[in-house]
Amino acid sequence: MSLEPFSSSVMRFNFQVAIAAFVICVAATGASAQASRPYTYPSKGQTQEQQGRDKYECNQWAVSQSGFDPSDPSPTSTSSQQAQGQAGGGAARGAAVGAIGGAMEGDPGARAASGAARGGLFGAIRRRRKRNEAEKEQERAQTESASGLESYNRAFAACMQGRGYAVN
């Protein structure tokens, strides 16, 4: 028996995992670089107290205008954690169904083994689909977050400029 097809698919899977990890790292780095607020400098001699009040009020206004609050991160998806046990559960259910069918035909062991294999395969397929869906949802959430942060930063900068601050 040759392991050639198996090792090829494992290498292909490892390559896909490596690419996905790289993309996630790049996206996370880009998101954290964008997460900073614009720098503000008091152009009209505002006191520390006035600067704090202006930043607070501009923050409130920017949140209301953009619909995005940088201090309130969006919840993360838990569907990838829920999908972990599906292959084992599928194998157990498949074995039980196979054993019942095999008992009717007089060979419960062979049918249980084949049912477990099929159930495990179907569980793995379901787990992979759920993982792909979770990754797409996470990408969508990151895109929305970056867009919301950009809108928030523009609104915050406009408010601070209107109050006599230089914004960079």
Model's pTM, two decimal places? 0.49
Output 95 or 114, whichever has higher pLDDT. Answer: 114
**Inter-residue contact 70 to 149 (CB < 8 Å):** yes
pLDDT value of residue 59: 96
Residue 89 placed within a domain: yes
pLDDT value of residue 37: 78
Degrees to nearest 5, angle at CA 27 with 23 and 32: 150
Q: What percent of the chain has pLDDT over 90?
A: 38
Q: Domains in the chain: how many in total? A: 1
Average pLDDT in the 106-120 region?
Answer: 71
Average pLDDT, the chain: 76
Q: What is the pLDDT of residues 47-81, one digit of tens each?
A: 999 999 999 999 999 999 999 999 886 654 444 44
Residue 18 placed within a domain: no
Residue 93 placed within a domain: yes
Neighbours of 166 (CB within 10 A): 12
Residue 94 placed within a domain: yes
Output 80 or 92, whichever has higher pLDDT. Answer: 92
Residue 139's contacts (CB-CB under 8 Å, 6 or more residues apart) are 27
Residue 17 placed within a domain: no
Local confidence band at 149 (pLDDT 50, 70, 90 cut-offs)? very high
97 pLDDT more than 60: yes
Residue 115 placed within a domain: yes
Which residue range is the domain that position 150 belongs to? 35-167
* Residues forming a β-bridge with 167: 40
Query: Where do the DSSP E strands lie in 13-126?
Result: 40-42
Residue 8 placed within a domain: no
Local confidence band at 103 (pLDDT 50, 70, 90 cut-offs)? low
Degrees to nearest 5, angle at CA 23 with 28 and 143: 55
CA 58/CA 23 separation, integer angstroms: 34
144 pLDDT more than 80: yes
Which helix or strand (DSSP H or E) is residue 129 part of?
helix 108-162
Residue 119 placed within a domain: yes
